[in-house]
Amino acid sequence: MGFFSSLFKRSSDPEPTKQAQVSTPVSNLAADVTLYAPVTGTLFPLEEVPDIVISEKVLGEGVAVVPDSESIVAPCDGVISRLLPTKNAFAVRMDNGLEIYVSFGVEAMELRGEGFTTKVALGDQVKRGDPVIQTDARLIASRIKSPITSMIVIKSSGAIAKVTNASGKCNAGLSPVVWISLSR
């Protein structure tokens, strides 16, 4: 169990499903875009995030991670197109127009930036794995509902045919966790 996991373990946290314990094979995936883990931890389906907007996939498809680390990184190369004033969420717009939204924690916006440090500014170019947000786990541990981090492919940002997610453990900036097939 990682640092965040031990700080945030509550009876209401989702337990790993059988699907989350077996990694998705990466060898036979023919995708146009590959996204990498925004944080080190354990992957979960978006449906298990205790936030209705995310779990109902209102913004789009993606994956969630229960973090084991305090650093949130860019999941792909691109430009920081959104950086919330609450410092808990950002988006990266890729060269192909796809926008990838990463949000740390459930109810973390209520902290109004306390416990978060941004390492980039709006409009900055980032590469996969570049640090974007640093969290202070000790400060925020008792003040948010869950540290689960969501990575969402914004459905209105491109002609998305299919999104495939990995499951299991992941390492920030190193583990491929989402594959996107675009409509032709």
Tens of pLDDT, residue by residue over 167-183, are 999 999 999 999 999 98
Question: Do the beta carbons of residue 61 and residue 160 sit within 8 Å?
Answer: yes
| Structural domains in the chain (count) | 1
133: three-class secondary structure by DSSP: strand
- CB–CB of 3/148 below 8 Å? no
Give domain status of residue 25, yes or no. no
Range of the domain at 48: 3-15+30-182
Residue 23 is assigned to a structural domain of this protein: no
Instruction: Indicate which CATH number applies to the domain containing 120.
Output: 2.70.70.10
Within a domain: 22: no
| Residue 24 belongs to a domain | no
Residue 126 lies in a domain: yes
Q: Is residue 76 part of a domain?
A: yes
Distance CA 73, CA 111 (A): 20
Q: Which residues contact 149 (CB under 8 A, 6 or more apart)?
A: 38, 39, 41, 64, 65, 66, 67, 72, 102, 103, 104, 105
How much is the pTM? Answer: 0.82
Both tokens of 142, joined, read 């008792």
Can you tell me the distance from the alpha carbon of 156 to that of 146, in angstroms, rounded to the nearest whole number?
27
- pLDDT tens digits along 29-82: 678 999 999 999 999 999 988 888 888 898 999 999 999 988 999 999 999 999
pLDDT tens per residue across span 76-114: 999 999 999 888 899 999 999 999 999 987 776 777 777
> Does residue 135 sit within a domain?
yes
Structure tokens at 37: 């883990």
* The two structure tokens encoding residue 48: 């298990």
> Is residue 20, in this structure, part of any structural domain at all?
no
Query: Rounded to whole angstroms, how far apart are CA atoms 167 and 41?
Result: 11
